[in-house]
Amino acid sequence: MASGGSKNSWELQVTVEDLGPEADPLTLRVTGDLHVGGVILQLVEKLQLKKNWSDHAVWWEQKTRWLLKTNWTLDKYGIQADAKLRFLAQRKPIRLQLPNLKTVRLTVSFSQPLFRAVLGIGKILDIRHPEELSLLRPPEDPKKKKKDKEAVEEVFDLGSLEAPGETSGLSHGYKHPNGSHYLRDTPEGEAGYRILAISQPNLPPETVAKMARPNSLGDKAQVHSRWLDSSRSLMSQGVKDDDKLLLRFKYFNFFDLEVKYDQVRINQLYEQARWSVLLEEMECTEEEMMMFAALQYHINKLSQSGELDEPNKDPDLDEVDAALSTLEVKLEGSNPNDMLDSITSIPELKDSLKLFRPRKLTLKAYKQYWFIFKEMTISYYKSQETALGEPLQQMHLKGCEVSPDVCIAAQKFCIKLLIPAPEGMNEVVLRCDNEEQYSQWMAACRLASKGKTMADSSYPAEVQNIRSFLTMQSVTTDPSLAPDTNHEDLNTRSLVSPRYQKKYKAKQLTPRILEAHQNVAQLSLSEAKMKFIQAWQSLREFGIAYFVVRFKGCKKDEILGVAQNRLIRIDLGVGDTIKTWRYNNMRQWNVNWDIQQVAIEFDENINIAFSCVTASCKIVHEYIGAYIFLSTRSQEQSGGLNEELFHKLTGGHEAL
């Protein structure tokens, strides 16, 4: 023992990162009642380096944890002489692949929970509501040779997150005091803006062809095994300096998308939607694919020609005027009498539709009935004259699955309903006569599935969105709007998914995409991106995260789909929906962390339990908690983020 040392003192070795990888650890003489702050003070005094150490902290290698509570003693942490400690910076650079597949380098917190680190990333990238985002590891490519992994990729350096208390923003003259303003008076600032907010040129078709595509629900489930844990730090999850991670929208409940404030957010959301369509992560019909291709073609033309939207051109329009202007647009067309009517009466739909109940080995056609849609229930009768009596059947749509089955060329406008029943899901198909009828009934079905009636203020907007979606898929018949024959910049292989590249030759796809383009040619850049996002949100598989699970008491694996308002039990082999449970019927959920099993209790004494096969049950737990949180957030006028509640629902081990 060193002279002058206390009887209870002992030697503690600490490696200092800033001295380099070859440097020997520093040896300190400590006692168990010395707090971590005292250890850091001894280190700094011994180093005698003039440096700002405020961003440094102690990392305990064996326990893979940060010692951030500097007032805790070594005894309280359980640290003894054999502890391997490192003194290093809490903020480190990572390479981040954005949804548009561009890679940027920035400095992020390696010590805070990932959730907070992503909030910081959102601030630097000027993305509002970053709680919708998260990070995942890149997929391992077993076919890739080690030499290929060292290939140099283009990385744009976006500087670092500022220290607390300083102005957040990007280096190179890029900043955003109100979430929408860019200083683009330097080449670096302009380059940063274009990387984040402007749609990039298409990748070469050969590159796209090599990108991984899911071939089954099992493949889609593998993606979600790569999400990082939002409650743990990057360092504790094995992420190292300059590692590559993927930034993606994880929770598909997008709050308050505004062109004025969300240039980056909308562009990155459009890019993620675009790649999910091109890589066949979500299925879409042929007409939908042509519409998506036309929108991409239009967006590419505007982006590369320099015809960019510039929000807030009028410097005299202050924030209050802008807010009032936005409110005026949202309230346009409404009047007090309409509002009073919606409170005192619930609209109904009455019409003649065709109905079909799919059965195995059946050739029965659609049958015509008289339908009445009231509140959240559809009743149908043999004819209009018998509608005063008892209906042939009533269908209660709350909690049902609603999906479109539309082919405009064939004038097919069908609504598929999967209605919960004790034995599983009953499938019903309604066929409408025309676009207008379909738009009204489809909007009513979607709202009813969420527990809302046609009196809800969102009903007219839902009808209009469906009309717009159908219009974009329609073939133009007006000879004055003939497709532009100058299509040298139209590369069909970059605009449609591989399925349609194999099905059609380029000379067949080109006129179809140009025809579809006539329906969107008048849209501005931001309008086109928003239309793409809205069309993406209308796809049947939108927002469903798939997991391979084993339900308690079952002997085979199944798929669990986690959507923003429900859980879906799916047959792994054929992909059929077996059962749906909605979050608003959930009473509580728990996770048994010892056996990694999720148990959920619903109304009417319905209990389910399952273990996860392809991912940690923590990821499923996060998804459920986040969607419950985000659904309540969307009902708050302020839209403020309650971080404590989010952490409780996604990061802790507590029940709801």
Contact 17, 50 (CB under 8 A): no
Residue-by-residue DSSP string for 545-575? EEEEEEETT-SS-EEEEE-SSEEEEE-TTT-
Assigned domain for 226 exists: yes
Domain containing residue 552: CATH number: 2.30.29.30
Residue 373 predicted with pLDDT over 60: yes
Residues 138 and 110 in one domain: yes
> In this predicted model, what pLDDT tens digit does every residue of 77-111 receive, in sequence order?
999 999 999 999 999 999 999 999 999 999 999 99
Assigned domain for 302 exists: no
Of the residues 454, 487, 522, the one at which a domain ends = 454
* pLDDT classification of 146: cutoffs 50, 70, 90: low
Residues 28 and 103 in one domain: no
Quote the crossing angle between the two packed helices 286-305 and 525-537, to the nearest 10°: 160
Phi, psi of 262 (to 5 degrees): -120, 40
Which among 51, 178, 45 is positioned nearest to 123, based on CA atoms?
178
| Domain tally, the chain | 4
Per-residue pLDDT, 425: 78
Supply the DSSP symbol for 144.
Answer: S
Mean pLDDT value across residues 599-622: 91
Count of beta carbons in the 10 Å neighbourhood of residue 92: 21
Residue 273 predicted with pLDDT over 60: yes
Q: C-alpha distances in angstroms, 125 versus 194, 197, 361, 487, 570?
A: 12, 10, 55, 35, 37
> In this predicted model, what pLDDT tens digit does every residue of 526-543 receive, in sequence order?
999 999 999 999 898 899
Per-residue pLDDT, 3: 39
- Strands in 586-592's sheet, in edge-to-edge order, are 577-582, 566-570, 558-562, 545-551, 606-612, 597-602, 586-592
Quote the crossing angle between the two packed helices 435-449 and 459-473, to the nearest 10°: 130
Rounded-to-integer distance, Cα 320 and Cα 318, Å = 6
Rounded-to-integer distance, Cα 62 and Cα 79, Å = 10
Phi, psi of 221 (to 5 degrees): -70, -30
Assigned domain for 3 exists: no
Q: C-alpha distances in angstroms, 571 versus 22, 485, 547, 557?
A: 55, 47, 12, 9
Supply the range of the domain harboring residue 418. 348-454
Quote the crossing angle between the two packed helices 617-633 and 643-650, to the nearest 10°: 150
> In this predicted model, what pLDDT tens digit does every residue of 301-342 receive, in sequence order?
998 887 655 554 444 445 555 555 555 544 444 454 444 444
Residues 353 and 441 in one domain: yes
Amino acid at 527: E
Residue 14 makes CB contacts below 8 A (sequence gap 6+) with 25, 26, 28, 39, 43, 58, 85, 86, 87
The tokens describing 487, both together, are 């299509």
The tokens describing 449, both together, are 């599935």
Contact 589, 600 (CB under 8 A): yes
Of the residues 396, 423, 454, the one at which a domain ends = 454
| Dihedral (CA of 130, 136, 141, 147) sign | positive
Q: Computed over its alpha carbons, how large is the radius of gyration of the chain? A: 28
Assigned domain for 358 exists: yes
Residues 60 and 163 in one domain: no
What 3-state class would DSSP assign to 359? coil
The CB-side HSE value for 198 (13 A sphere, CA atoms) comes to 19
Residues 79 and 197 in one domain: no
Assigned domain for 618 exists: yes
In DSSP terms, 352 is beta-bridged to 370
Work out the mean pLDDT of the chain and round it to a whole number: 83
Residues 646 and 620 in one domain: yes
Of the residues 283, 300, 330, the one at which a domain ends = 283
What 3-state class would DSSP assign to 463? helix
Per-residue pLDDT, 7: 65
Residues 116 and 243 in one domain: yes
177 or 201: which carries more pLDDT confidence?
201
Residues 55 and 135 in one domain: no
The tokens describing 88, both together, are 């290093």
Q: C-alpha distances in angstroms, 272 versus 196, 278, 309, 429, 459?
A: 13, 10, 20, 31, 27
Residues 160 and 207 in one domain: yes
Assigned domain for 53 exists: yes
Residues 216 and 360 in one domain: no
Supply the DSSP symbol for 174.
Answer: B
Residues 190 and 236 in one domain: yes
The tokens describing 414, both together, are 């069908």
Assigned domain for 616 exists: yes
Residues 77 and 111 in one domain: no
Assigned domain for 481 exists: no
Domain containing residue 43: CATH number: 3.10.20.90
Contact 87, 40 (CB under 8 A): yes
Per-residue pLDDT, 178: 43
CA 179 to chain centre: 20
What pTM, to 2 d.p., does this model score? Answer: 0.85
Contact 214, 497 (CB under 8 A): no
225 or 341: which carries more pLDDT confidence?
225
Rounded-to-integer distance, Cα 477 and Cα 644, Å = 55
